[in-house]
Amino acid sequence: MNWLLEGFVNLFNLNSLLICFGAAFVGTMVGVLPGLGPGASVALLFPFTMFMTPANALIAVGGIYYGAMFGGSITSILLNVPGEVASICTAIDGYPLAVQGRSAQAIAICILSSFFGGMFSLTLLAFLGVAISKLAFMFGPFEYFTLMMFSICCAAGLGKGSLLKGFSSAALGMLLAMVGVDTETAIFRFTYGHSALFAGIQVIALVVGIFGISEVMLGIQENAKSISSGIKYKTKWPSRREFQLAIPAAIKGALIGSFGGMLPGITPSSCTFLTYSIIKRTGKEKEKFGKGAIEGCAAVEAANNAAAMSGFIPLLTLGVPTTSLMAMTMSIMMIKGVIPGPTMFTTNIGITGVVIAGFALGNVICLILNLPLAGMWAKIAELPYKWLAPVILFLCVLGTMVINNSYIDLWVMVVFALIGVVAKKTGFCTPALIMGLILGSKLELYFRQCVVIGWDQLLMKPIALVIIGLMVIVVIVFQRSMKKTKEDQ
């Protein structure tokens, strides 16, 4: 555990501390503001990570991610407007509590359990990380190929349409990843003689377009209005009885969140729905659910922050992202020259140590920022969208321009913004596209290695076979659930 302590020591420089604070602040703001999700804001931050060290870049991404999980609870309780998909379940029980005049206790419980969930997951990352990365050294091309396919299959299930739509989106992403020069044979692919395409499609521009700009556009279309609350807020400590109810619920939530978040394709938001349905059945005050149960708030908030944190476990240990946001984080790391994977716990353990320390400090900062200042955040939620939208669009353009001063990037951004807008209506699966794009080059590499070794060797790899089995199960489960939702409609 020496490396962890060293990480804490290395964290304490002005640069890292400022980034830690800034990320937590921005993240909470993102969580509070409706119509701006963590995906969009990480996309926005993407270009500016160019100027940071690898560890600081990761701390910034993580800060925005868990900050959003913290902040989302405030608006769902005080205003009944979840700033985030992951805090929809908080609003079910939190808003009735606020109506009863217990908003302060609800917020305190939510933030404390969020903090607990995050810390629990972080401890898991620190301890399990070493063990899993040892396992990862047994992985060869076959295992990685099947694991990445598994990840893509799960991302395909995240779409609203059918599973087939997800697969085709992923395939499109893989083709986009092939644009540019092939690193093995130095042959240009899909460039059609345009020098601007030689280096491939700039992932940052694409991500900013598809997540950032299209989200703003859809926000304008929905005419997101500012909300104002009539509920007064004053910090108040919860009673002992409330703590007694909340603590077991938060532990349950943290367990579900941190183990669920490790699985590919499980976003923090889907984790919260799962947690809420479980806690509803096993809670102590069953009759109160939906009318203001403190247990519901605690479990859900612990789960979403735990899931947000534990998403980093497979990324840092195996180098396999589980959600599109983690895929973005992966490409940030690769641009920085840090290969996510088992080496994060051997040669690059210094970086991992700082990152884990940064996450821990970030969680503490979020706790301090949110608990006494919840009233201020509720005010920030009233920022009008008509003001935010142009500013965010300007930041998107600035960010894309900053990467390498290329106009082509701006056009890529606009084209994918258009695709992102249309995608919402056609059932095109953007998470699968991003997964396909970012994993594309690695998938191809492993595929070719497998071909050279010979596919018949696959039968001798037990880990790969297990992953294939899991993949088949997941595909069947997704297929069934999607059919069911279609029939329900």
Partner 1 sequence: MKKSRKNHLISLLNMMLISLGLPILYLITGIMALFEAKRIQAKLHVEAFFSGPSGYMSIVGVVLLLLFVPEVIEGINKFKKNLQRYAEEQITTETHEESVVIEEDRINTNRMWVVFLMLVGYIIVIKRLGFLISSCVFLIVSMLYLGNKWLTMLLTVSIVAVFLVFCPYFGITLPKGIFGI
CA 115 – CA 155 distance, rounded (Å):
28
Cα distances (Å, whole numbers) of residue 470 to 144, 155, 266, 273, 477: 14, 14, 15, 22, 10
Nearer to partner 1, 128 or 418 (CB): 418
Listed ranges 90-98, 124-132, 217-225, 258-266: which one lies at the site for partner 1 (CB under 8 A):
217-225
Please report where in the chains the tokens 């969930």 appear, as a residue: 117
Nearer to partner 1, 288 or 424 (CB): 424
Single out the residue of 220, 339, 458, 475 in contact with partner 1 (rule: CB under 8 A). Answer: 220
Closest contact distance (angstroms) between CB of 423 and partner 1 is 9
Interacting positions 158-197 with partner 1 (CB under 8 A): 162, 164-165, 167-168, 171-172, 174-175, 178, 182, 184-185, 187, 189-190
Is 451 a binding residue for partner 1 by CB under 8 A? The answer is yes
Listed ranges 5-13, 62-70, 75-83, 441-449: which one lies at the site for partner 1 (CB under 8 A):
441-449
Cβ contact 36:388 at 8 Å: yes
Closest contact distance (angstroms) between CB of 429 and partner 1 is 10
Closest contact distance (angstroms) between CB of 155 and partner 1 is 16
Closest contact distance (angstroms) between CB of 241 and partner 1 is 46
CA 67 – CA 76 distance, rounded (Å):
15
For 368-393, b/e burial (b = at least 16 CB within 10 A) is ebbbebbbebbeebeeebeebbeebb
Cβ contact 38:384 at 8 Å: no
Closest contact distance (angstroms) between CB of 325 and partner 1 is 24
Structure token digits, residue 55: 């560890």
Nearer to partner 1, 219 or 296 (CB): 219
Binding-site size for partner 1 (CB under 8 A) equals 55
Phi and psi at residue 406, in whole multiples of 5°?
Answer: -120, 135
Print the binding letters for residues 325-364 with partner 1: x by CB under 8 A, - otherwise: ----------------------------------------
Nearer to partner 1, 308 or 450 (CB): 450
Q: Give bridge partners of residue 479 from the DSSP assignment.
A: none
Is 17 a binding residue for partner 1 by CB under 8 A? The answer is no
Running DSSP on this structure, what letter comes out for residue 321?
-
Single out the residue of 232, 448, 483, 484 in contact with partner 1 (rule: CB under 8 A). Answer: 448
Single out the residue of 134, 386, 483, 484 in contact with partner 1 (rule: CB under 8 A). Answer: 386
Closest contact distance (angstroms) between CB of 43 and partner 1 is 16
CA 65 – CA 287 distance, rounded (Å):
33
Interacting positions 274-313 with partner 1 (CB under 8 A): none
Cβ contact 327:158 at 8 Å: no
Structure token digits, residue 167: 């697969």
Closest contact distance (angstroms) between CB of 386 and partner 1 is 4
Q: Give bridge partners of residue 188 from the DSSP assignment.
A: 181
Single out the residue of 227, 368, 379, 444 in contact with partner 1 (rule: CB under 8 A). Answer: 444
CA 189 – CA 96 distance, rounded (Å):
58
Interacting positions 36-65 with partner 1 (CB under 8 A): 51
Is 487 a binding residue for partner 1 by CB under 8 A? The answer is no
Neighbours of 232 (CB within 10 A): 10
Interacting positions 389-428 with partner 1 (CB under 8 A): 389-391, 393-394, 397-398, 401-402, 405, 407, 410-411, 414, 417-418, 421-422, 425-428
Which has the closest alpha carbon to 366: 374, 356, 354? 374
Please report where in the chains the tokens 């935010």 appear, as a residue: 388
Closest contact distance (angstroms) between CB of 233 and partner 1 is 26
Which has the closest alpha carbon to 405: 205, 164, 242, 227? 205
Nearer to partner 1, 66 or 144 (CB): 144
H or E element in which residue 188 lies: strand 188-189
Nearer to partner 1, 2 or 223 (CB): 223
Helix-, strand-, coil-residue percentages of the chain, each rounded to 5: 75, 0, 20
Nearer to partner 1, 178 or 468 (CB): 178
Closest contact distance (angstroms) between CB of 199 and partner 1 is 16
Q: Is 319 left (phi over 0), alpha (psi -120 to 50) or beta?
A: left
Neighbours of 191 (CB within 10 A): 16
Which has the closest alpha carbon to 297: 46, 102, 40, 66? 102
Nearer to partner 1, 325 or 423 (CB): 423
The residues binding partner 1 (CB under 8 A) are 51, 162, 164-165, 167-168, 171-172, 174-175, 178, 182, 184-185, 187, 189-190, 213, 217-218, 220-223, 384, 386-387, 389-391, 393-394, 397-398, 401-402, 405, 407, 410-411, 414, 417-418, 421-422, 425-428, 443-444, 447-448, 451-452
